[in-house]
Amino acid sequence: MIHLIKKQALVIVLVGLFVVVPSFGKAATTEELQAQINALLQQLQSLQQQLAQQQGGEGFYDGARVQALVSLRIRQAPSTGALVIGRAPVGLQGTIYRSCPPTSSPAPASATCSAVANGYTWWYIQWDSSVTGWSVEGTSEVDFMQLVTGTSPSITVLSPNGGETFQLGSIQPITWSVGSFGKTYRISVVDQNGFGQGNIATVTGIAADRQVYYWNVGQVKIPSDRGDILMTLNRGTYKILINEVETGGSDYSNAPFSIVAAPTTVSANPVGYVGPVSKNMIYGWACVPGMNDYLNISLSITPGIYQISNITANVSRTEAGFVQNSGCTNIYHGFAVNPSLNFPSLPAGTYTVTATAKHPTTGVVVGLTPLSGQTTFTVGAAVAPAPSLSSVYPNTVIALRPEAFNIYGFNFQSGATIVYSGPSSGTLAASFVNSTQLFLSVPGGLLQGTYTFKVRNPDGKESVMLIVNATAPTTASGVISSMTPNPCNVASGATRCRATIVWSATNAPSAGIRARDSVSGWEGIVCATGITTCVFDAAPGNYTVTLRSNVNYSSSQILDQKSGVVNAPSTSTGGTTSGADLQAVSISPAGPFTVGQSVTFNAVVKNAGSSAMPGSGYDADLMIDYGNDNSTCQGPGNTLSSGCNAYVGSPLSVPLIAPGATYTFSIPWTATCQIFTAPCTNLLRFRVDLPHNLMPESNESNNYITKLITVNPAGTSDASDLSNLASALNNIQVSVAAIAETLRLLLAPR
């Protein structure tokens, strides 16, 4: 309804236009005719503004002056998701651009500078704060900005007004006509599409008709939050835009003018200075007069061979008159280098800095002029900091016990000593590990009491003190509370008797139970540290249980000890010679193997006697000794990392085997080598008649066999594929022979 009323009003204005304007034929004089034309032009301008109002916002049109009614965001594009590039505070005025940047919809260059997006009408505005971008007109309830009335343009750009060609860096006049005196004018450059390229100057008019400003062609200022940035335009075509700040009146060049490169003499050599300098910064500048190129700088610091190359002279020079005095095209031809970043440890002395600059096209290298009296700097002798002590480990020890300390901190020097004070005082030489760690050995230990430790470097500087406590020695003690049953009777058909052991210890954090079988001589761990209740499966005979201060060492202090007895079962198991004889026959395959290879060992046991086995419950095991020293192994099912490393199969239950028959155990294993870069040789041991010659036999010497195997590191190849095949064939033949022997015995007449 509102737009309908506006259209009706527009029709009235159109009708009125033809009613109130007198005909040209009635003009009495030329002055009257000119007055009538001016009146017609004014009404035509009003009509254009009203027409723009129908097309866009409430009275807004291209070139109109507007004022922010709220703190208004300025965005890079007409969208609520576009980047915010500034804010227009309440009261700030601006001018709607006469030509717009492209929007999401194609439009001719003369299109109205408005867009509709996200439910808003947007206008492309050059605000008086020098920020140009898109702002929202408002909502149906609230206006975000308003038209500034009485601001009809009164400016005409006279030159450059189109078609001119200026050399970059030349001085050219910008002229424009005005209709008032003492106004403020902002001169800026836009490209031929109206996009702002930077400001030239803001000046105050000194005449009421014609203004002039002399421009160093190409020099513009770009506003930023850190102040104006001086830039040089590229070669191309541009227009001049002049705004009258107070009224918003503005005008562009009628057509673009051209900026071309200034003629250069490529043979001109670089010019510039080096200085002032210090150990923390070297300043200077260099350029080729008339060229915008940034030069490559090399610095030399003497005495010594200290070079810094590939420095680009593109840092701004802020001193007044730099461009005029240097001959450079702009202020961005300086350099600033911190030599301490390249050479943090220059020896003490006085140094001189020289510099060269390289021509970007001819390659000519020219030495820069030293700034008088400002190209030397002095480095004083380095002052070593005092040591800093962070921690001592351990900081609590047992008195009179040999001890070693790790001391941590900063700025330690080789030759540092530890100064200690307490029940005894003195200095101890420390082993230098690095600048943050020392090692201190005290073979005789410390007297009981509280000590202070501090680090003293060879230069005499000392750290703060830390506390170390030497506490009274403590005596380890322990007791085996119970070992039940004792004696222990092996049940009928069994081979072992299980005894439960309960123990405790104080001041012995590594204590545990070790046991020894007096019949076989086996000795090992049965209760590890911290396991104060455990079980021990003992074979018939006598055994000893010992509580040691360190369970991992059979020679450590004995805290308590008890003896036990295991009685054999009252069955046919055990006793006099039974006539049966278990024999360990063979182990295959023989290898060699490769680390990680899956292997299945075939271990063959035979009843070499003339009688059946007396009862059941006999075991066997297969052990790999990675150390190849045939040392005594720990009991079945356990692993010991010293000497005998691992049982591959344990315990293996031996079935009843007829006289002369055999039985084959198949035992999986993943090949392992403790030497990772070369082949290693391991000892395989296969034992039967366990535990510990349990079966009464006439021959107890054939109960185990051994075999050496080779394991190659992963990724290596065997010396001979033929040898490997022969070995595999031999293993198969052995297995076939064993099976054939078993079949022969089973089929033999009885």
Do residue 243 and residue 300 come from a single domain? no
Helix (H) or strand (E) holding 664: strand 662-670
Do residue 554 and residue 675 come from a single domain? no
Residue 44 has pLDDT above 90, yes or no: no
The pLDDT-based confidence of 388 (bands split at 50, 70, 90) is: very high
Do residue 393 and residue 451 come from a single domain? yes
What would the pLDDT profile of 48-107 be if each residue is shown by its tens digit?
A: 445 444 444 446 776 677 888 888 999 998 999 999 988 888 888 888 876 566 554 444
Cα dihedral sign, 201-204-210-212 = negative
Q: Where is pLDDT greater, at 619 or 694?
A: 619
Location of structure tokens 């003690």:
477
pLDDT reported for residue 271 = 93
pLDDT reported for residue 36 = 62
**Cα-trace Rg, the chain:** 51
Do residue 494 and residue 605 come from a single domain? no
pLDDT reported for residue 365 = 94
What would the pLDDT profile of 2-15 be if each residue is shown by its tens digit?
A: 333 333 334 334 43
Distance separating alpha carbons of residues 504 and 484, to the nearest angstrom: 16
CA quadruple 53, 58, 62, 64: dihedral, nearest 10 = 120
pLDDT reported for residue 198 = 86
Distance separating alpha carbons of residues 604 and 281, to the nearest angstrom: 84
Least confident residue range of 84-98, 329-343, 355-369, 641-655: 641-655
Q: Is residue 150 part of a domain?
A: no
Do residue 181 and residue 298 come from a single domain? no
Provide the whole-model pTM.
0.27
pLDDT reported for residue 710 = 86
Domain enclosing residue 350, as ranges: 271-379
Distance separating alpha carbons of residues 665 and 605, to the nearest angstrom: 8
- Domain at 487, CATH number: 2.60.40.10
Q: Is residue 312 part of a domain?
A: yes
Average pLDDT over residues 507-523: 79
Q: Is residue 665 part of a domain?
A: yes
Of residues 675, 713, 695, the one with CA closest to residue 596? 713
Question: For residue 303, is the peptide bond before it cis, meaning its omega torsion is within 30 degrees of 0?
Answer: yes
Q: Is residue 228 part of a domain?
A: yes
Q: Is residue 147 part of a domain?
A: no
Least confident residue range of 474-488, 537-551, 721-735: 721-735
Least confident residue range of 411-420, 614-623, 712-721: 712-721
Per-residue three-class SS string for 443-475: CCCCCCEEEEEEEECCCCCECCCEEEEEECCCC
Both tokens of 618, joined, read 């006999």
Which residues fall within 8 angstroms of residue 142, CB to CB, at 6 or more apart?
70
pLDDT reported for residue 638 = 35
Residue 424 has pLDDT above 80, yes or no: yes
Both tokens of 187, joined, read 């001169």
Do residue 340 and residue 276 come from a single domain? yes
Average pLDDT over residues 565-590: 74
**Phi/psi at 144 (nearest 5 deg)?**
-90, -20
Q: Is residue 573 part of a domain?
A: no
Q: How many angstroms separate the Cα of 282 from the Cα of each of 320, 359, 367, 370, 375? A: 20, 21, 15, 12, 8
Distance separating alpha carbons of residues 627 and 682, to the nearest angstrom: 7
Residue 267 has pLDDT above 90, yes or no: no
Residue 336 has pLDDT above 90, yes or no: yes
Distance separating alpha carbons of residues 252 and 260, to the nearest angstrom: 20
DSSP 38-66: HHHHHHHHHHHHHHHHHHSSSS--TT-EE
Do residue 621 and residue 722 come from a single domain? yes
| End-of-domain residue from the set 141, 168, 194 | 141
Residue 310 Rama label (left phi>0; alpha psi -120 to 50; beta): left
| End-of-domain residue from the set 141, 171, 187 | 141
**Phi/psi at 325 (nearest 5 deg)?**
-85, -30
Residue 440 has pLDDT above 80, yes or no: yes
| End-of-domain residue from the set 514, 543, 567 | 567
- Number of separate domains in the chain: 6
Residue 719 has pLDDT above 60, yes or no: no
Of residues 665, 678, 687, the one with CA closest to residue 592? 678
Both tokens of 740, joined, read 């054939």
Q: Rounded mean pLDDT of the chain?
A: 79
Chain-centroid distance, C-alpha 167: 51
What would the pLDDT profile of 211-224 be if each residue is shown by its tens digit?
A: 888 899 999 988 87
Percent of the chain with pLDDT over 70: 77
Percent of the chain with pLDDT over 90: 29
Do residue 510 and residue 424 come from a single domain? no
Do residue 105 and residue 171 come from a single domain? no
Distance separating alpha carbons of residues 189 and 348, to the nearest angstrom: 55
Q: Is residue 550 part of a domain?
A: yes
pLDDT reported for residue 56 = 42
Q: Is residue 225 part of a domain?
A: yes
pLDDT reported for residue 677 = 64
What would the pLDDT profile of 624-666 be if each residue is shown by its tens digit?
A: 866 554 433 333 333 333 344 566 766 788 888 889 899 999 9
Average pLDDT over residues 300-311: 92
Do residue 256 and residue 290 come from a single domain? no
Helix (H) or strand (E) holding 16: helix 2-20
Do residue 410 and residue 320 come from a single domain? no
Q: How many angstroms separate the Cα of 491 from the Cα of each of 282, 518, 567? A: 95, 21, 9
Do residue 426 and residue 487 come from a single domain? no
Both tokens of 523, joined, read 């000795």
271-277 and 369-370 beta bridge pairing: parallel
